[in-house]
Amino acid sequence: MSNENNHHTTKEFADLDLSPDEFQQLGYRAVDMIAEYYRGIREVPVFPPRTSAEIARVFEENLPELGQEPGAILAEWSEKILPNATHLGSPRYFGFVNGSGTMIGALAEALAASVNMNAGAWKPAPAATEIERRTLAWIAELIGYPLECGGLFTSGGTMANFTGILAALRNTAPYNTTEEGLQSEMRRGRFLIYMSDHEGHVSISRVADLLNLGRSAVRRVPSNEDFTMDTAALEKILDEDAAQGDIPFCVVAQVGSINVGAIDPLEEIARICRERGLWFHADGACGAVGAMLPEKRHLYRGLEKADSVTLDPHKWLYIPYECGCLLVRDPEKLRRAFSMSAPYLRGALPTEYTGIDYLEYGPQMSRGFNALKLWMSLKHYGAEGYRKLLSQNVRCAEHLDRLVRESPDFEPLHRPNLFIYSFRYFPADLRLPDQQNGDGENDLNAWLDRLNQRIADEIQLSGTAFIMTSKIHGRTVLRMSICSHRTTLQDIEIVFGKLREIGEALHRRERPETLPAFPQNQA
Ligand SMILES: *Cc1c(COP(=O)(O)O)cnc(C)c1O
């Protein structure tokens, strides 16, 4: 082939890569934009007060048929995206259980994308695979889980719960569910999962969906006063279900629950599962990493006995989305649940150049390099730094609890266990002097529900803070998830003051006239 021909062929192929120099220029600019963003993160209005339709309009645009200038595309980040973002990195964002995103994690995302390893298998991701293994071992060590454990990173807690509970089903079912699934003639009853009724997390219903067990396969176990699972009730229900011919196979313990941060009695649940041959899955998406705090460790006794543990680095380890994690005591049980083979997945010849293929340990095949952002963040802060950050969050929740208890217009609903705290605005002038229930209780509760929802809505629209509501024993409450590495006691005070201000104004303006008043209660 002549040179000319070669030249000709190359010319026919579009080369749309940036030149490294162009990349460098754009990259500097992107980093400047990000640094500028971080500079303003403490003051940024947390939530954009716009409707979905308004924001959709910003992005109404035809499919770009012709390529555009990369500089102009970057500019759109500042012009269109940032003004319509919710700022989870703000120290006053307290919604859902959303982490704040470490800065080094943001760099890790860019670096991981640049090399673009696929952590589904060892061959396309040797370093990523070994870093994943190493980081999992570090996490296990941090929370006191057996170091020989296996596991993997997932997109989030829901997928970690799914992965753990599928492993539970595969390893406890009385026949081979890998081959026959739920359609086997050997199936003799319903496969059932157990969790606490008040604080059990809705992701377990999603797991039942994914396993096609039906949501009614998730049995709700009554809770104690402190929102933990009543294990005597658990044993009773297990006995009843087994006597009916059903097949209990997994108990899900909450390890830091969604509304109040409750930790179920793990030792007891471990014992019950061991005695009955059930799989003990700990849903620690919110709270498992709290086990690294010496002052909280006692609450986690028994966690090391769980067959599997879900935790969510994108929550209380502040890792940028997405990063969930599952640890499993016996890695072989996980492999047994997910192992697959196909001629194109592995070289035919045995070779020393292989390692763990994570596609054999979970539902995904192609996988991003999620471990890197956690690996880098752990190295950046160290275990010591992380312990400081987590205990700061706990102190914020405790401070909030104090403010609530000291205020005559707020009602505490639980002790702050970890970093999640739920409470209620309850104006003093509505409280019966002797705390007894009155005739107007329904009206009162309806107003309090509406009032608390309105407070959350207004504080969101104000941009000062992002707070959502939840329900505790059927009543609407304000719920703050304080898992930002940027939140300080001062943020808590500012937000609490704002909540009171909004509550007072709303109550003054809109209080139903039918409600009796007890002004003598006011401070
Ligand atoms: C958040 C959460 C989940 C689900 O995790 P995702 O990362 O949102 O999928 C499951 N369980 C508990 C207790 C949670 O807090």
Please check whether residues 195 and 303 belong to one and the same domain: yes
> Token match 């950046």: residue?
380
Rounded CA separation 324/55 (Å)? 29
161 lies in the same domain as 240: yes
The separation between CA 42 and the C-alpha centre of its own chain, rounded to angstroms, equals 23
> Would you give the distance in Å from CA 27 to the centre of its chain?
30
389 lies in the same domain as 351: no
Domain count along the chain: 2
What residue numbers bound the domain in which 400 lies? Answer: 382-522
pLDDT at 521 over 80: no
Q: Average model confidence (pLDDT) for the chain?
A: 95
Domain C-terminal end among 313, 338, 368: 368
- The pLDDT-based confidence of 2 (bands split at 50, 70, 90) is very low
Q: Is 99 among the domain residues?
A: no
Nearest-CA residue for ligand 1 atom 2 is: 285
Average the pLDDT over 390-419 and give the result: 98
* Residue 177 sits in the same domain as residue 312: yes
Residue 290, in any domain of the structure: yes
Check if 323 has its Cβ closer than 6 Å to any atom of ligand 1. Answer: no
Alpha carbon distance 199, 203 (integer Å): 12
Model confidence, pTM: 0.95
**Pocket of ligand 1, candidates 154, 162, 308, 310: which has the most ligand atoms within 8 Å of its Cβ, to mutate?**
310
- For ligand 1, is residue 324 a contact (CB within 6 Å)? yes
| Same domain for 421 and 338 | no
Q: Is residue 63 part of a domain?
A: no
Q: What is the CATH classification number for the domain harbouring 272?
A: 3.40.640.10
Instruction: Kindly give the distance from the C-alpha atom of residue 443 to the centroid of ligand 1, in angstroms, as a whole number.
Output: 34
Give alpha helix (H) positions in 407-468.
441-462
Which CATH number characterizes residue 444's domain? 3.90.1150.170
97 lines ligand 1 (CB under 6 A): yes
Please check whether residue 396 lies inside any domain of the structure.
yes
Distance CA 272, CA 238 (A): 10
Domain presence at residue 129: yes
Pairing of strands 247-254, 468-472: unpaired
493 and 364, same structural domain? Answer: no
Return the residue whose CA atom lies nearest to atom 5 of ligand 1: 157
**Which tokens go with 54?**
């308004």
Count of other CB atoms within 10 angstroms of residue 145: 27
DSSP string, 66-88: S---HHHHHHHIIIIIGGG---T
Predicted pLDDT of residue 5: 52
Whether 38 has a pLDDT exceeding 70, the answer reads yes
Tell me, in angstroms, the distance from the centre of ligand 1 to residue 158's CA: 6
Does 85 fall in a domain?
no
Residues 185 and 207 in one domain: yes
Task: Decide if 399 contacts 489 (C-beta within 8 A).
Answer: yes
- The answer to whether residues 312 and 417 belong to one domain is no
Residue 171 has, within 13 A of its CA and on its CB side, a CA count of 25
Does the structure show a pLDDT above 50 at 1? no
Q: Which of 346, 368, 390 is the last residue of a domain?
A: 368
**E strand spans, 236-358:** 247-254, 279-284, 308-311, 324-328
**Is the CB–ligand 1 distance for residue 218 below 6 Å?**
no
Residue 10 has pLDDT above 80, yes or no: no
**237 inside domain:** yes
- Residue 147 falls within a domain, yes or no? yes
The pairing of strands 191-196 and 324-328 is unpaired
Does residue 338 sit in the same domain as residue 217? Answer: yes
pLDDT at 205 over 70: yes
Residue 479, ligand 1, Cβ within 6 A: no
Which of 368, 398, 416 is the last residue before a domain boundary? 368
- Indicate whether 202 and 226 sit together in one domain: yes
Between vectors from CA 437 to CA 432 and to CA 443, what angle results, nearest 5°? 85
Closest CA to 400 of 420, 378, 383, 372: 420
In this structure, the answer to whether residues 398 and 327 fall within a common structural domain is no
Give me 397's structure tokens: 């929740």
**CA–centroid distance, residue 475 to ligand 1 (Å):** 22
Pair (137, 207) in one structural domain? yes
